[in-house]
Structure 1
Amino acid sequence: MKRPGYLLPLCFCAAYASGALADDTNPLCSAREEEVLHELQSAEKYGNEHRIEGLQRALSNIRAHCTDESLIADAEEAVEESREEVRDRRQDLDEALREGDPDDIAEQREELQEAEDELHSDIQQLRALQGPR
């Protein structure tokens, strides 16, 4: 399951419940704010109004609600969702193997690989947020 890149800033900001501002006490939030500002500048450069609006909402949410803990929690949730997707894709592949349709097997293998790639990416993002242990 691929997530569109333009939704990434919104995904990181949608579930923040705390009232803490993104500042030095939340360095991950400060870094996320900088990323969104950079994306916003790029969208403004190319006049992408829809993206500008979404990024402005994301920036507002970061500034109003972001905590480092919420970023990590969101990343952990993404990993769990990706793990579930991998489990589902493995079941689909097992079923295709039982049925023996070569085209379906190839399709299910490709979908499993995509799900595994996304899981790997989500795990890397989580580890980056968690920092060195």
Structure 2
Amino acid sequence: MKFLSPLMVFTACGLLAAPLFAAEQAPELTGCAAKRQDISTQIEQAKAAGNSSQQAGLEKALSEVSAHCTDAGLLKAQENKVLDAKREVSQRQADLDKAIKKGDADKINKRKDKLAESRKELQDEQAKLEQLQPDEDE
């Protein structure tokens, strides 16, 4: 009986670890495939919650993504978001420079805060763009 217990424990550990290794090896989805997967997950959640109107809306969204989404289109849209964020940072910097010239401490602090927010948004948009860009070494 003592021989059987360690064997059963070893087998159980092996069976429980298999899905973890499979999950590590699965590549992370990006672009349109990630959007489809995300919507599919939301559909399953809506089904589980019994929310048929949300489910219907999500199924329509899934069909639209399947029909019209392209990775190149997503990449272009994200590039445009990055450009918009860069313009916003430039505008906020100009606003800060004006406030500094006027010497209004209250406005300077507000402009600094706004500039910091805009820079954070730019970083976020650039990170999203990096996720969408195909790897050079593949």
Corresponding residue to 1:98 among 93, 98, 101: 101
Alpha-carbon distance in 1 for matches of 2:53, 2:100: 44
Distance verdict in 2 for CA 1:68–1:107, change over 3 Å: same
| Structure-2 residue corresponding to 1:86 | 89
| Structure-1 residue corresponding to 2:71 | 68
Look at both structures and tell me which one has the larger radius of gyration over its CA atoms. 2
Alpha-carbon distance in 1 for matches of 2:126, 2:119: 10
* Length-normalised TM-score, structure 2: 0.64
TM superposition shift of 1:40: 4.8
* 1:28 and 2:31 aligned: yes
**Structure 2 regions of 5+ residues with no counterpart?**
1-29
| Structure-1 residue corresponding to 2:125 | 122
More helix by share: 2
Aligned residues: 107
Distance verdict in 2 for CA 1:91–1:55, change over 3 Å: farther
**Structure 1 regions of 5+ residues with no counterpart?**
1-26
Aligned residues: percent identity? 34
| Structure-2 residue corresponding to 1:110 | 113
* Length-normalised TM-score, structure 1: 0.66
Coordinate RMSD, CA, aligned: 2.7
| Structure-2 residue corresponding to 1:17 | none
